[in-house]
Structure 1
């Protein structure tokens, strides 16, 4: 009983309810947008850990690491469901495996030493750019009609891995932006991003566990920069709602799908922008 009391220190009924609701939202987002849900779980986890008394310099990497761990099951479920519908570009997924892993490794090393502002700034830059492109871009917003050659495609993969590790996401926001700028339609970009999320989440989680190992100020339940309690509370509802999200993604008009994703990313960007400057 003493151990349970220690592990749940700082957890209130409001926090439990918030995490359960967040889990459901994460699952829907994972299915609809081909993301692991990190764009919602990172801010939710960040505020939760702060409410538990964790300092900002620990709360932010802890939120990012826990988000990556959360993405493992949701991205696997989302990717498998999208693959059954035949919209995943496995050529890109295979080409990105090694560069994505290298990018994730570098991002995990940076996580041990970076200021919380670095994580938030990367989040705002990538999510905000994607939001503007989806909401205000036209057909002219393209870098090309197809993906570049091997070197360019590998470079894209490394960028996806690095920024995803710093943002605590499955790479959906970044890979969606890259793929749509290089000729992929929104639905195929969403489906392929879901598969890429699997490559990012597993090594990213391991990296954050190692990066946070032995760090001062972590809550009792944390394993490195991953909170076990937060995962236990969010995973059940996330897994229940992921398939529903995938079903919605395949019946929505592509234009509406893109606009909704853009609005969502814009709101998240504004939230972190306020955190940096206020």
Structure 2
């Protein structure tokens, strides 16, 4: 086995373990870790720049299919999931995710880098400075505002390759929901986003030139197999710890890491 393949597997292993744990602990779906890791792995392997970010995002979404369900199951056992919210928001989130996958297939690499970098920077700022006790609205959005908000979460998450938990937690806490319920319920947003969006990336990338070997459209099969197995293994551990640990200092430290990653992705887009 060549050194390049060994390095690829090692990088995927580290990203998968960290992403699953972070997804369960913070409700962010793991894509915030997986996407930049895959992007730089594909860069080192010489994957065509025109499809590099697309494959990183599409592969990340494919792994969230398993992660989100494992995380949701763990939170359900803790009795913290509001399934009424999932039933009402899920269809709009899924529609937004499909639209996001379609848009992503039409834009170039730099656009996806900018969307990811800017979105991740917002997530980092939210994690560092927001308080779970902040309340802006008396309740979650209804009617048209619910459709627009949920659809926006799905669209942006699909273009970033994340599960929607980060944006979902913010919306739910600002709408008056307790933080543990927000994290638990938002973990289910990934289930509404990941599968339809991943299938969209497969369709939009079908037959494109420059894809890595063993890819289905914009989804790398080796990346999916390794990352899905490892993220599914560690997501329940993070979800269980989310109900036991004071998270403020840990979240702020993780926010600094995310901000540095976001700025690096924006630098990639600029140069």
**Scaled by the length of structure 2, what TM-score is found?**
0.92
Distance 1:172 1:264 in 2: 18
Query: Is 1:18 paired with 2:11?
Result: yes
Contact 1:37–1:169 (8 Å) recurs in 2? yes
Distance 2:5 2:243 in 1: 38
Distance 1:209 1:135 in 2: 35
Return 64-73 or 235-244, whichever deviates more.
235-244
Contact 2:118–2:266 (8 Å) recurs in 1? no
Contact 1:35–1:171 (8 Å) recurs in 2? yes
CA-CA distance at 1:103 after TM superposition? 0.8
Query: Is 1:113 paired with 2:106?
Result: yes
Q: Deviations over 1:187-236 (max 9, x none)?
A: 22211111111010010111000000011111220001000011222233
Question: Which residue is equivalent to 2:87?
Answer: 94
CA-CA distance at 1:165 after TM superposition? 0.9
Distance 2:254 2:139 in 1: 22
| SS in structure 2 at match of 1:197 | helix
Unaligned stretches of 5+ residues in structure 1: 1-7
Distance 2:205 2:68 in 1: 23
Query: Is 1:132 paired with 2:121?
Result: no
CA-CA distance at 1:140 after TM superposition? 8.5
Query: Is 1:198 paired with 2:229?
Result: no
Return 187-196 or 155-164, whichever deviates more.
187-196
- Match runs of 1:66-215 below 5 Å: 66-137=59-130, 142-215=135-208
Unaligned stretches of 5+ residues in structure 2: none
Two-structure CA RMSD over aligned residues (Å): 2.1
Distance change in 2, residues 1:184/1:128 (3 Å): farther
Contact 1:130–1:177 (8 Å) recurs in 2? no
